[in-house]
């Protein structure tokens, strides 16, 4: 059986599974459609939330980013998991007790203001839409790499599948398909990792293998990897920092707070039956995410070691890296390298025409290393490696059977589809429930609202698909922005809504605007106004990363701080919220009485 046939079978079977589940779990009421009838148990909800959370980027790119960044890659690991602690303690149980369908509905009622809610809907749509562009392109990439169809055809297939279960099933259909998708993607991620860990260290558990000695040698894998990468002019793997320590702290915090503020994640906690379940469910979510996230660093480090010893075999024979015999003869490179060269993800260019591959850091800060490299006749790094290769080609690098590679294909597609569906749910409920029912047509009947929900879902899929087919020029920089926006504008008002009885609408609106402006100002300075190239204004703020050496990805935490500070200052000078609002906050704090979730105003 050829690889292509195996892949088609694996992906085809997974699609049949999703469609079967979709048919079984059609949405019959608005409650089914928005919150899956608020009857999903904490474990199942945890699994679905994990699938929702782990996107194509988590599945395909994260291990590669960790592989490139080494220790610095920990910002993603801690940032994208630590946020769930904030969510579990500060938001999920209280918003569940509040018992409405959407995030902006909480803002509107708690801050008795349509303006506040409109600002929140705006921030929410910004965050979700920037995020979904990345997911739709991810769907296209996953399909084209694995199935050999073009990017565009991949996006059309993805749209059709999501359409089938999201439009008819709503949150209910999405939740149960996500459970299936979680199983597919985790299985596909962990199996190759187990093989590769066993192969390199003799320990089949990747989390333990990463801390073990290399098979048959008396040196730890990580210690050896540190040696190899420093010999080749890269930063030491286990200590490499992204910028300064302060920047790493803020980057981690931004991702954590952003995670807790992303609407499509918060919404998941409206689907559980009660407050206690909301608390536990966040824990289960993290358990299921951790299965993949604690495996990722092992995959990253092991694939990196594998790659280096493939390209520079001399390191295993204890040759000096500058020894001409140490680097791989280009013509003898393995088949998987040739295969991935065709996709452009891997590229070898023999700059010094010696027929061998020199893979090293030609931008090293170590002058002595660069001098030795020049002396050895090296004319620059000859191998460019896209970060995605680390996961995509991992099974091939470890010489695993075809069915494992086919499984990775099904897993990558599952990851992209599940996140896209969750985001579409957040977008369509913001439109049908918050805008249409909340502002334009409050008297709409439940049946018509269900229909409206389905139509806005269908329209959202078309728009998302269109954006995926014609990604705006700024698509690449947007995921970082989504976290920045969520951290600086969405998390603080939600938290203050619960934890400060006296917080009023003036404070919260001023805070949201302040947080958002700080973040956008700094991001636009680096990436251009609305990401239009050529409009960067770093010179006005004193050069790139001028604010204490903070990179634009890490500014969200500063924005969140600005949000809190401004909100409390404005609150001091404006009048207290009305009595009934203060009573509302009191009731949200007490778990008793959380029964049903409903959308009535």
The footprint of other proteins (CB under 8 A) covers: 37, 39, 41, 66, 71, 73-74, 77-78, 81-82, 84-85, 88-90, 93, 207-208, 210-213, 220-223, 238-239, 245, 248-249, 252-253, 256, 273-277, 279-280, 282-283, 286-287, 290, 293-294, 297, 586, 589-594
Q: Which is nearer to other proteins, 435 or 560 (CB)?
A: 560
Residues near 180 by Cβ (< 8 Å), separated by ≥ 6? 14, 17, 18, 21, 414
Question: Cα–Cα distance between 487 and 263 in angstroms, integer?
Answer: 11
Question: Cα–Cα distance between 381 and 363 in angstroms, integer?
Answer: 9
Q: Which is nearer to other proteins, 153 or 240 (CB)?
A: 240
Min dist CB 125 to other proteins, Å, is 29
Min dist CB 86 to other proteins, Å, is 8
Q: Which is nearer to other proteins, 254 or 327 (CB)?
A: 254
Q: Tokens at residue 303, please?
A: 């694939």
Min dist CB 536 to other proteins, Å, is 29
Burial class of 291 by CB neighbour count within 10 A (0 to 12, 13 to 18, 19+): middle
Q: Tokens at residue 584, please?
A: 């509302």
Q: Which is nearer to other proteins, 227 or 517 (CB)?
A: 227
Min dist CB 581 to other proteins, Å, is 16
Question: Cα–Cα distance between 260 and 87 in angstroms, integer?
Answer: 5
Min dist CB 59 to other proteins, Å, is 17
The H or E element containing residue 356 is strand 356-357
Three-class DSSP labels, 48-116 = HHHHHHCCHHHHHHHHHHHHHHHHHHHHHHHHHHHHHHHHHHHHHHHHHHHCCCCHHHHHHHHCCCHHH
Q: Which is nearer to other proteins, 133 or 557 (CB)?
A: 557
Min dist CB 236 to other proteins, Å, is 10
Q: Which is nearer to other proteins, 186 or 252 (CB)?
A: 252
Q: Which is nearer to other proteins, 374 or 586 (CB)?
A: 586
User: Residues 78, 204: contact at Cβ < 8 Å?
Assistant: no
User: Residues 272, 45: contact at Cβ < 8 Å?
Assistant: yes
Min dist CB 276 to other proteins, Å, is 5
Q: Tokens at residue 499, please?
A: 């934890």
Min dist CB 448 to other proteins, Å, is 23
Query: Rounded to 10 degrees, what is the CA torsion of 251, 252, 254, 257?
Result: 180
Q: Which is nearer to other proteins, 79 or 507 (CB)?
A: 79
- DSSP of 480-540, one letter per residue? HHHHHHIIIIIHHHHHHHHH-TT--HHHHHHHHHHHHHHHHHHHHHHH-GGG-TT---GGG
Burial class of 470 by CB neighbour count within 10 A (0 to 12, 13 to 18, 19+): exposed
User: Residues 289, 50: contact at Cβ < 8 Å?
Assistant: yes
Min dist CB 81 to other proteins, Å, is 5
Bridge partners (DSSP) of residue 356 are 329
Q: Which is nearer to other proteins, 84 or 522 (CB)?
A: 84
The H or E element containing residue 328 is strand 328-329
> How many residues are listed for the chain in this entry?
601
Q: Which is nearer to other proteins, 275 or 400 (CB)?
A: 275
Question: Cα–Cα distance between 546 and 579 in angstroms, integer?
Answer: 45
Min dist CB 41 to other proteins, Å, is 7
């Amino acid at each position: 059986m050829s690889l292509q046939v195996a892949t088609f079978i694996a992906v085809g079977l997974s699609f049949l599974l999703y469609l079967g589940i979709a048919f079984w779990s059609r949405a019959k009421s608005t409650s089914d459609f928005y919150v899956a009838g608020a009857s999903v148990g904490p474990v199942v909800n945890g699994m679905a939330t994990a699938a929702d959370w782990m996107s194509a980027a988590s599945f395909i790119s994260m291990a590669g980013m960790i592989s490139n960044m080494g220790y610095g890659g920990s910002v993603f690991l801690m940032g994208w998991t630590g946020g769930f602690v904030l969510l579990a303690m500060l938001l999920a149980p209280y918003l569940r007790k509040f018992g409405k369908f959407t995030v902006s509905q909480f803002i509107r009622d708690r801050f008795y203001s349509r303006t506040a809610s409109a600002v929140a809907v705006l921030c929410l749509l910004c965050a979700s839409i920037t995020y979904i562009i990345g997911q739709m392109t991810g769907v296209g990439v996953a399909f084209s790499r694995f199935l050999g169809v073009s990017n565009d055809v991949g996006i059309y297939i993805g749209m059709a599948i999501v359409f089938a279960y999201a439009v008819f099933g709503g949150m209910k259909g999405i939740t149960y398909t996500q459970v299936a998708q979680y199983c597919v993607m985790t299985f596909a991620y962990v199996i190759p990792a187990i093989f590769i860990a066993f192969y390199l260290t003799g320990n089949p558990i990747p989390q333990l293998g990463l801390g073990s000695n290399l098979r048959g040698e008396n040196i730890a894998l990580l210690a050896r990897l540190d040696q190899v990468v420093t010999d080749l002019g890269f930063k030491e793997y286990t200590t490499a920092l992204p910028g300064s320590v302060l920047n790493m702290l803020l980057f981690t915090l931004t991702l954590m707070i952003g995670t807790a503020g992303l609407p499509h994640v918060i919404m998941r906690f409206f689907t559980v039956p009660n407050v206690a379940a909301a608390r536990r469910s966040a824990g289960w979510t993290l358990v299921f995410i951790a299965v993949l996230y604690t495996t990722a660093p092992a995959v990253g480090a092991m694939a990196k070691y594998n790659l280096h010893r493939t390209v520079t075999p001399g390191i295993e024979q204890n040759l000096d890296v500058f020894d001409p015999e140490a680097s791989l003869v280009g013509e003898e490179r393995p088949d998987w390298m040739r295969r991935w060269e065709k996709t452009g993800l891997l590229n070898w260019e023999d700059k010094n025409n010696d027929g061998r591959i020199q893979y090293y850091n030609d931008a090293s800060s170590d002058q002595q290393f660069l001098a030795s490299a020049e002396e050895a006749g090296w004319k620059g790094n000859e191998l460019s490696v896209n970060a995605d290769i680390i996961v995509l080609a991992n099974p091939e690098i470890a010489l695993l059977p075809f069915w494992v590679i086919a499984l990775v294909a099904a897993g990558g597609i599952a990851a992209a589809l599940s996140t896209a569906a969750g985001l579409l749910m957040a977008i369509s409920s913001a439109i049908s429930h918050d805008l249409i029912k909340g502002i334009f047509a409050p008297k709409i009947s439940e049946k018509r609202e269900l229909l409206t929900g389905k139509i806005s879902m269908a329209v959202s899929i078309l728009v998302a698909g269109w954006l995926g087919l014609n990604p705006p020029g700024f698509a690449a920089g947007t995921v970082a922005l989504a976290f920045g926006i969520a951290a600086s504008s969405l998390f603080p008002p939600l938290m203050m809504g619960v934890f400060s009885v006296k917080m009023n609408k003036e404070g919260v609106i001023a805070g949201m605007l302040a947080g958002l402006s700080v973040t956008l100002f700094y991001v636009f300075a680096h990436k251009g106004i609305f990401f239009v190239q050529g409009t960067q204004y770093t010179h006005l703020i004193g050069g790139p990363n001028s604010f204490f050496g903070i990179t634009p990805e890490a500014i969200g935490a500063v924005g969140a701080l600005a949000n809190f500070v401004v909100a409390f200052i404005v609150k001091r000078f404006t009048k207290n919220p009305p009595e009934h609002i203060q009573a509302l906050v009191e009731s949200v704090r007490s778990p008793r009485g959380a029964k049903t979730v409903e959308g009535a105003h």
